[in-house]
Structure 1
Amino acid sequence: MGIDLHEYQTTLKSRVTLSGIGVHNGKPVSIHFNPADPDTGIVFTRVGDGHEGREIRALVSEIGATDLCTVLGDPAGVHVATVEHLLAALSGLGIDNVAIEIDGSEVPVLDGSAAMYVEAFDQAGMQIQAVKRRYIRIMKPVRIENGASWAEFRPYDGTRFEIDIDFESPAIGRQFFAIDIDPETFRAEISRARTFGFMKDVERLWAAGYALGSSLENSVVIGDDNRVINMGGLRYKNEFVRHKMLDAMGDLALAGARFIGCFRSYRGGHKLNAAALRRLLSDRSAFQIVETSRRERGRSAEMVAVNAPVYAPWMI
């Protein structure tokens, strides 16, 4: 294959902690990232808030809601909300196994992007583990549509995202961004793109219990005059579509394994991303579970199909 895929699973070398507020509930929260054994995946554990020891795995089967953010668990009970930026950082950097302790119901928004998660994981360092990493290789096109919106997976020799957004606001308009994902491109081109919203929607969101922690410190805000009101302006000229790609990466990380293929969407969002992922994983002829096999004394490698366990993390 013409791509550089890591052969072995990874985890963090040491524990690292971040604190902040939830962008929707506005409540303070601390989150601790710990090294985890091979094949653990990403697991959230609620601590110190009356839900001590309750675990929620970062898998598509655990999605409880997709309104404005991705929620894992029971939205009316034990859950962890707004997981997408964090999961995008783990996926983008190639970190497979992490045990996460969180003392609230929503992941901290920090600066509205994945940049501070990237910094934290760099601080902790990455440990290579002696167990092969498995990938989901897309074998045929899978498409889902919802009105004018659509999303699809297609075979591709790499991991690629092609995101197309189209907003009536002239501050955004139509933007398209496509890129092959590896840790370097994720850091430079995607990780710093912030969440965004419109000033005209604030009161409606507040009344519905959303965006209670949103501010100019963690969101790009478009004013009533259709201009970005943040003093520093945008981090990228097309920051809006790059953030939608960041969201898509986080949502699709809930497959439990990385993709070898291309994900494309037009006017997508959390709900469409989740629906596309469920559609793909419900069709076992549409994908194959593969891992790296080295030959000729380790100087060449190819991806070979493997038998997935009965209760594989990507199963729904």
Structure 2
Amino acid sequence: MGYAQKKGVAIADKNFDNYSYVDAIATYEKVADKGYKDEKMFQKLGDSYFFIANLIKAEKWYSALFAMNSSQEAEYYYRYSQSLKAVGNYAKADKMLEQFIAKSATDQRGKLFASQRDYLKDIKENSGKYEIFDAGINSPYSDYGSAYYNNTLLFASARDTGGVAKKVFKWNNESFTNLYSSQISTDGSVGKPEVFNKNINSRFHESTPVFTKDGQTMYFTRNNYLNGKKQKDSRRIILLKLYKATNENGKWVNVQELPFNSNEYSVAHPALSVDEKTLYFASDMPGT
């Protein structure tokens, strides 16, 4: 490997380690286009695309990885299998999952596959039961995490409407997500999205809101940012936390973080039980 290639890989590695996956991809691919082949580079190229949910491109580089060395860590069999599904190669995906199980027998993802080997048959049998169509409010950017509140549809979006000062999320080079709302008509159609609430939205990510039945309390995910101050973990990464806000005369106020948050792990994506006595959430806290 020449000096220019070494320098390029070093720059890409730094971007990858800083979760700047789009920037990492651009540099890795410049090096790869010049004919350089390296197992670690193929791993990181596949991972970069996998982490930004471009599984079709991830499949290309995981395929190159396994062509170079068919013996990989267990996680790569899983990621390759999911990427193979994205390009419609289910037979090979299943073979990769079998090898994943052999290497990581206790992993719940492998156990799930083992218990649902006829998943394609189930999908085909149930695919005609529901009709899925575009809601008419999607943007070219990330739109997800919907919730129903007071005859409106709330969702997170990386679109930039100019309502909040925007920062770019280096993970995928999109704006940080904010909450938006759309009025739901009697026929089920939804209106033009508007910024939900400036007391809730910040310069960083907000997403996945959930509301109590009386509409007086909401829980939502946000980066570790409160009262104009951001907090980082020991690796200097801004993680995710759960926050609570209350409705006072139609205004969302008293934003506060929940007591089980931590600067050292993420807590996100809340859901309330039917009786509203239990709050469920996702987390990578130790022991989970």
TM-score calculated relative to the size of structure 1: 0.21
More strand by share: 1
More helix by share: 2
Bigger radius of gyration among the two: 2
> Could you say which structure has the greater relative contact order, defined with CA pairs below 8 angstroms and 6 or more residues apart?
1
